[in-house]
Amino acid sequence: MPRGQLILIEGLDRTGKSTQCLNLIKKFSKSKLIKFPERSTQIGKLINEYLTNPNFKLNDQSAHLLFSANRWELNDEIEKLLNDEYFVILDRYIYSGLAYTLAKNKVDTTNDTNKDDKSKNITNSENKINLSNLEWLLTPDKGLPKPDLTLFLTLKPEEISKRKGFGQERYEQETFQENVRESFLKILNDLILKGDDSIKIIDINNMNIDTITNLLWEMIEDVGGNKLTNNPIKRI
């Protein structure tokens, strides 16, 4: 039975992911955009409070599991849409969860001279147990649908920091975003080296919105991501 395809757009904060997702869904006859975190659910409301309120404390392990739980909240909807021949565009997903948690390991919480620095809001705990263990980080997401195509938009953090609205949420700090970028590239390049050809890394520096949209659509067409498939849904 034919199904729609699951296409993921990943990237750092303020890289234009949401704009590109909105542009791409218009190119499919039947499509649905799902953005993570999905902040309207019960778990999503907790995540929104965590991201927007610097006084909201949550240890890093709990935060990681919350983001995973939020993805599971949408699992049934995503699978139903795919089986109903919708093309589902995801704005963030599993790889964001891995990269952002891994990046927290590089945040120094022991330097007293930085007590007033905003980076203290990124991680509230000196207990880093399991946070660098990729297998532990991935385990809560095992069984979720694996994207048929992942497009990672990479942009220099210094360019991101100039964009409107940057700095309004917990993770929107230039140094931390560079850590996230390095974590993303390590995770995705390792998967590519292991033979995962569903992942594409795209450097969008010095590109305008339309150029990026056209490039992403060309990449989707090149792998048949704009056509229904008879392949079963793969799992993480």
Please give the model's pTM, rounded to 2 decimal places. Answer: 0.89
Tens place of pLDDT per residue across the chain (236 aa): 899 999 999 988 778 899 999 999 999 999 999 999 999 999 999 999 999 998 888 899 999 999 999 999 999 999 999 999 999 999 999 999 999 999 988 765 555 444 445 555 677 666 788 889 999 999 999 999 999 999 999 987 666 656 555 555 666 777 888 889 999 999 999 999 999 999 999 999 889 999 999 999 999 999 999 999 999 999 99
Q: Which of 70, 132, 141, 74 is nearest to 99 (CA)?
A: 132
Write out the CATH class of domain 6-222. Answer: alpha beta
Residues 6+ apart with CB under 8 A from 216: 9, 20, 24, 151, 202
Secondary structure of 43-71 in HEC code, one letter for each residue: HHHHHHHHHHCCCCCCCHHHHHHHHHHHH
The Cα 40–Cα 53 span in angstroms is 16
53-92 pLDDT, tens digit each: 988 888 999 999 999 999 999 999 999 999 999 999 999 9
Domain ranges of the chain: 6-222
